[in-house]
Amino acid sequence: MKKLNGIIYALLSSAAFGIMPIFAKYAANNGSNTLSILSTRFLLSALILFVYFLFKKINYKIDKNQLKALAVVSLCGFVPTASLLFFSYNYIPTGLATTLHFIYPAVVVAANRIFFKDPLTKNKLISLFLSMISIYLLVGFKFENINIIGVILALASGFTHSISIFSMNNSTLKNLNNLVSVFYISIFAGIAIFTATAATGNIALPINPYTVTSLIGIALISNIASILLLMMAIKIIGPSPSAILGTFEPIVSIIMGIILFKEAFTFSVFLGTVLILASVVILSKEKPEEELQIEILKEGNEKVIEQ
């Protein structure tokens, strides 16, 4: 049951983040811009959580080690991921950028194996393979007008997102209230992106019902809920399965686009969705990473005893 909860948290996190392009599109269509939306996403989240902490009398004080760990998650993970992916859109089609960005599940699985000796099981490999194919089917792209700068930026956003996932698995943060973690991540990211936005004179935050509603939706759903659920998933099922299940995100974006903006529902979208769901089913049969590590240690000890 605990493993199932972790899978559900990861899927809900992806869904919450997948809704963000819909909110962002409404905000942009009503006078805002991407950098302003990004900075508001984090700063508004921090403000909402701060008010919540005061109202609920929740202690949000943390020690220096936890502060440093959360600074790494935010400044080395979330900030560069959002920025690099955004800038890649200036050089290459968004479909290609998204496909390249989703290299991060493979990066997480490989790095987890190399640096943390995480078991590379058949289920993980099959799920990873299916999820990578599904991303290509869902967003697709043509090999035309490929700009190497855009490719590098999009790939870099995938690598930095993998840093976010690994950083959130930091032992320093294990016993920290997840909402408190999201609060500090949002503060660091919000200040960093807002400073960059202000420096370029690119602030655009018109006050109208559509923009305000969209920004609140991004803060509550696509930031607070998404990061919170991702942290909960990582603590239960580990970085690799959480990263693979992150590929559920574009499904939500595409389905919402079909419902709200009458976008086409193609066979590629259908097949990509089926493959993602298949990878979820396969991962549901996988044991949590901590249990696999314990089993490996037991097997190793048994071999030593036999010798």
Averages of pLDDT over runs of 10 residues in the chain (307 residues) are 87 91 86 87 95 95 94 95 86 79 91 82 89 84 72 93 91 91 96 90 84 93 95 92 90 82 80 88 72 50 48
Nearby residues of 302 by Cβ (< 8 Å), 6 or more positions away: none
d(CA 273, CA 103): 18
Residue in 205, 204, 102 with CA at minimum distance from that of residue 162: 102
Q: What are the distances in angstroms from CA 302 to CA 65, 295, 296, 298, 305?
A: 37, 10, 10, 6, 5
Residue with the two structure tokens 């999201």: 182
- The residue type found at 151 is V
- The residue type found at 67 is L
Nearby residues of 288 by Cβ (< 8 Å), 6 or more positions away: 2, 3, 6, 236, 237, 238
Structure tokens at 113: 């194996």
Residue in 103, 161, 160, 109 with CA at minimum distance from that of residue 283: 109
Nearby residues of 275 by Cβ (< 8 Å), 6 or more positions away: 130, 131, 133, 134, 137
Q: What is the pLDDT of residue 92?
A: 80
Q: Where on the phi/psi map is residue 205: left (φ > 0), alpha (ψ -120 to 50), or beta?
A: beta
Q: What is the pLDDT of residue 287?
A: 64
Helices 178-199 and 34-56, axial angle in degrees (round to 10):
140
CB 223 within 8 A of CB 186: yes
Identify the helix (H) or strand (E) that includes residue 42: helix 34-56
Q: What 3-state class would DSSP assign to 291?
A: helix
